[in-house]
Amino acid sequence: MEIEWHPLFRRWFEELCKTTDEIAADVMALLNALEQYGTALGDPESHPVVTSQCRLRSLRRTPPTEVTPHATTPPVIRVLYGFVDDGAQIKAVALLAGDKTISKSRWYPPAVQEAERRLVSLSGRKGWTIRKLYVPT
Amino acid sequence: MAKGRIPVDSARVDETEISDEEYEATATSQGDLRAELLTRPAARARYEQTLAEINRHQATLGQVRRARALAQATIAELTGMNQSEVSKLERRSDLLISTLRKFIEATGGELHLVANYPEGSIELCVPWGPSGADDDDDVLPIDVRDGASA
């Protein structure tokens, strides 16, 4: 599945690349898995955002992982994404990401709200239709 | 390097200036930035480790089938099972290797069993299951077929 990056998500990722190789690599691996598995990508790497009107999903990386079994430190990375139809195919759109370590579940409401604004505005600009896919988990 | 702080993205799309150029790059960003990131050895090593871990989680039978856009009913038809058996099979925590082989072949793949040892790897033969299984056509050895057609 093709992945579109919202320009603001790209800016964040470019910042991240300047900050840490490891976490940037983790985020890229998640996006690569989304590219590879598409709508079939499920737990523990992807989970639906239940409060999302656009049925956004969230890519996740929560330590400790098998790669970092002893990690007790942040970050707890979340990448919000949605699906669109460009007339020829269904694509995923990476929208907004961050570390929810400090704010925990309070990270979601403002992030989901902004991610949905980004999905709506980008889809309008590109002529895509937002697809609220039911995706089995 | 891993100690760096994760950037916070609090930009509001309706209050931020974004150039046309940035909007044009949305489809190519992932490929471009991946290539750039993987030129760094530390990033590449971590990327490969993480991706291998993700594949271990995601490459379940159901995921493999869905990734190839196949329905359980299609697998059922190709393997001679019924759909509820396929559904149960995808949830099972253990199964016969011959059943696994049938499933993988029905999705267009080929099953290989590889045992890794410190000295190296060895590929084991994949068991074909009990002889006289229900769909005999498929389990008849080749030489018998040749004999029948001669």
Neighbour-count burial of A127, counting CB atoms closer than 10 A to its CB (0-12 exposed, 13-18 middle, 19+ buried): exposed
The partner residue sitting opposite B47, judged by closest CB among A28, A41, A44, is A28
**Which site among A9, A11, A22 would you substitute to test the B interface, given the most B Cβ atoms closer than 10 Å to its Cβ?**
A22
- Residue A35 CA to residue A32 CA, distance in Å, equals 5
* Nearest Cα residue to B86 out of B69, B108, B102, B97: B102
The partner residue sitting opposite A29, judged by closest CB among B1, B29, B51, is B51
Interface of B with A in 130-149 (CB under 8 A): none
Interchain contact, A125 vs B26, CB within 8 Å: no
Q: Please give the C-alpha separations between residue A69 and each of B4, B19, B96, in angstroms, as whole numbers.
A: 19, 41, 31
Mean pLDDT of A115-134: 93
- Residue B135 CA to residue B86 CA, distance in Å, equals 16
Superfamily of domain B37-149: lambda repressor-like DNA-binding domains (1.10.260.40)
Both structure tokens of A66: 């098998």
ipTM for the complex shown: 0.89
What is the residue-averaged pLDDT of chain A? Answer: 90
Looking at residue B16, the DSSP 8-state letter turns out to be S
Q: What is the pLDDT of residues B14-71, one digit of tens each?
A: 899 999 999 999 999 999 999 999 999 999 999 999 999 998 888 889 888 887 889 9
Q: A106 at the B interface (CB within 8 A)?
A: no
